[in-house]
Amino acid sequence: MHMKKKSKKFSKSDRKLLIVPLAMTAAMVIFLSALFFPVISDLTSIGAMFFSDKQVDYSKSYENIFVPTNNDSDTIDASKVEFPTINKQFGELKIEKRDVNTKLFFGDASVPLRNGVGIYAGSFIPGYGRTILVAGHNNTYFNGLKNVKKGDIVKINTSYGNYKYKVTDTKIYNANSKKSYDLSAKEENLIMYTCYPFDQLGITEKRFFVYAKKISGPKIVGLYD
């Protein structure tokens, strides 16, 4: 005679003991994914850039509104300026002595930095009379910053005017330093920065800054009329 096996049933307390650790595990996975996603995303992009056998065309991800001009006036009316929006290329940046020749975008997220260098949206564009903060990758478009010297001339060409800035200093700061730039400055100045050390892949703890002052280019007028 065979004895029937009794099926094991979970009590409410047993279910709670099982559900609680599962819920905690799921919450931890979500938290860690959110915490490390930017790092993983950056490393994935870097890996794809150096190890992929296919050339990715990021140029389809942005609009180019840059049209070269010979405007050499001292001022330009704001009504004649097409102000750029995020991810639009509106100019070019050159430091001829240091082999820097790149597209200039408004915004400093993935699309601009994969195709050139980008102005931090919390700063200002050339001609505004304030601080211009430009970011670029250390192993691509801003690699040439490592050779920049005081007195070098930086050229920024836009559709509304051409600008020149003279390098006054270079400094290295921690990535989270608040001393590296001043967005409240009342005079036009250019600050370019990239990760440091140069040629190092991935996220670094320091940034290399290049400071320059405006020496020519039209001032945008009529902004507050």
Tens of pLDDT, residue by residue over 57-66, are 666 689 999 9
**Rounded CA gap, 69 and 148, in Å?**
27
Average pLDDT over residues 161-184: 96
Check residue 21 and give its pLDDT. 56
The pLDDT assigned to 22 comes to 55
Other C-beta atoms closer than 10 Å to the C-beta of 109 total 13
Q: What would the mean pLDDT of 61-86 be, rounded to a whole number?
A: 94
What's CA 202's distance to the chain center, in Å? 14
The mean predicted confidence, pLDDT, of the chain is: 82
CA distance 37 to 188: 36
pLDDT score, position 95: 98
Residue 181, pLDDT > 80, answer: yes
User: Which pair of structure tokens corresponds to residue 132?
Assistant: 């211009």
Asked whether the beta carbons of 76 and 125 are under 8 A apart, the reply is no
Q: Is the pLDDT of residue 108 over 60?
A: yes
